[in-house]
Chains A and B, each alone.
Chain A
Amino acid sequence: MSEFAIVHRSALAPAPRVASHRIAIIALPEGHVVQVFERAPGADLLAVLADAAGTAPHAVRTAGPGQWFIVGDEPLPRDTFLDLANALGPHAATVDQSHGRVRIRVEGTVVERMLAKGTAIDLDIGAFPVGHSAATLLGHVSVHLTRLDATAFEIMVLRGFASSLWEGLERMSAEFG
């Protein structure tokens, strides 16, 4: 047994929200992030993943060939994670990344213009519809982007880059304040 208790600290405390009338940057709860890797290439796992992930919208995100993230706002107790891993076991390997990745919501009427300062991908809703995900560079930081609705995206980032990315997002949003 460890001689001291491990204390969970939020990566982005204590200022998890910046907002103006056109753009808002909001730190999402550090709930759960589960990375999923298919066992056999080419199997269509979307139905299995949707079943395992529950009913929250956009809980399953694509992350390249044969890889997905299952995300949510609630922490995932060990037993619940093991149930999920067992349910997916025949089809996919699962890794609990809840401690390692942080999610930030950005929203507002100018959200594409703000994000376009950092990434080269086409964020127009025709090319990047609601529910679509992409791994890309935002400035010099690797992120995983998901469109949540017409004027909102979620950015998932490795925990150690979260506060640096947050400062970048603030600077990218400054002109819209």
Chain B
Amino acid sequence: MASLISCPHCGARPKEEFTIKGAVLPRPDAGAGSEAWMDYVYRRDNPRGAYREYWHHTSGCRRWLVVTRDTASHEVAACQDAALAKRAEAQP
């Protein structure tokens, strides 16, 4: 259930403790052009199924997380610390 999010630092917490920013998307280069930035800022696929989003644990550890959840069933497949996940990707 998406109403309980298992924060990697705090454990299972109710969704009320979090703020959702939205889809995890690669940020375009500063000079990428208005079309790329239009895509990045506004256009979303709104899929039925798996979706990766940034969630902020606002009323807990205050870390940014990447939550992978199913938009139809609300099941949460994974929940990672965003900064730690990025660091792990950068140095495999």
B-binding residues in A (CB < 8 A): 63-65, 67, 120-121, 134-137, 142
Contact = CB atoms under 8 A, between A and B. Distances in A.
B17 A65 contact: no
B25 to A, nearest CB: 25
* Secondary structure dominating the interface of A: strand
21 contacts: A63-B61, A64-B10, A64-B61, A64-B62, A64-B63, A65-B81, A120-B13, A120-B17, A121-B11, A134-B10, A135-B10, A135-B59, A135-B60, A135-B61, A135-B62, A136-B10, A136-B17, A136-B59, A136-B60, A137-B14, A137-B17
B60 A65 contact: no
Interface string B1-25: 0000000011101101100000000
A121 B60 CA distance: 11
Contacts, number: 35
Interface of B: 9-11, 13-14, 16-17, 58-63, 81
A67 B57 CA distance: 14
A125 to B, nearest CB: 16
A135 B16 CA distance: 13
A67 B17 CA distance: 18
* Secondary structure dominating the interface of B: loop
A64 B11 contact: no
Contacts of B14: 120, 137
B88 to A, nearest CB: 12
A142 B62 CA distance: 11
B19 to A, nearest CB: 12
A-B pairs, top 4 by smallest CB distance, nearest first, are A64-B61, A142-B59, A137-B59, A120-B14
B58 A136 contact: no
A41 to B, nearest CB: 8
B89 to A, nearest CB: 15
Nearest to B15: A120
